[in-house]
Structure 1
Amino acid sequence: MAETTLVIAGRHYPIRCRDGEEAHLAHLASLIERKARQAQQSTPGLTEVRTLLFAALFLADELNDMKREAIGRQQSLALETEDEPAARAVEALADRIEKLRDRLAVDAPGA
């Protein structure tokens, strides 16, 4: 087990993690730290606990927005996938109509 110290909202948090995860945890801590600073700037005088609470709420809000966006994309892709066979059928019909038009133009009197 590895040990690392994360600094969030000016406080040091020694934690244990699996070997090799230190950099990843430091990155996650930097995301939390950024949101904690945002909370402190928008509402000066917050206690440490409230600062971390607001940081967590900011991160949860971002995560929720991303999930909604991902669901919207998935639904859009699903609709496109469902529309694909219909689009192919329309294209095939259009090709047949063009061929019939060309044959009629050739067979038409005076052509």
Structure 2
Amino acid sequence: MAEVTLSVGGYQYKLACRDGEEAHLERLGEMVNAKAMEARNAVGNASEVRQLLLSALLFADETLEGSRGNTPVAAPAIPGQMTAALERLADRIELIATRVENLSQHS
């Protein structure tokens, strides 16, 4: 198992991937970082979670816009380790959202 460190939106993430997939994962990280920086420039200094959410929305918007034409946009293949990392991140986001909601209700 190889390990790659990605820099996304000013944060460092260590991810495991299959041997030989390092360059592909680094390229995906560069794409996500570009969107994260675009999101940061659009809304200012956002939290890590908000920045990644906005990055995902920018990617989704591009995909939707591309699919409105006759040529559908193919989503890049996501390595299994990246999928697991995204699922853990989604769980973290849900936990944070629940905590914020609970704080709001108790205020």
Give me the identity figure in percent: 43
Write out aligned runs for 1:56-95 (5 A). Answer: 56-69=56-69, 72-73=70-71
Question: Match of 1:19, SS?
Answer: coil
Q: Give the CA deviation at 1:73.
A: 4.6
**TM-score, length of structure 2 as denominator length:** 0.62
CA pair 68-3 structure 1, distance change in 2 beyond 3 A:
same
Structure 2: segments with no counterpart, 5+ residues = 73-107
Question: Match of 2:28, SS?
Answer: helix
Q: Which has the higher contact order (CA 8 A, sep 6+)?
A: 2
- Segments ≥4 residues shifted beyond 4 Å: none
Aligned partner of 1:17 in structure 2 is: 17
CA pair 51-66 structure 1, distance change in 2 beyond 3 A:
same
CA distance in 1, matches of 2:20, 2:64: 29
CA distance in 2, matches of 1:73, 1:41: 30
More helix by share: 1
Higher-Rg member (1/2): 1
Aligned partner of 1:35 in structure 2 is: 35
Structure 1: segments with no counterpart, 5+ residues = 75-111
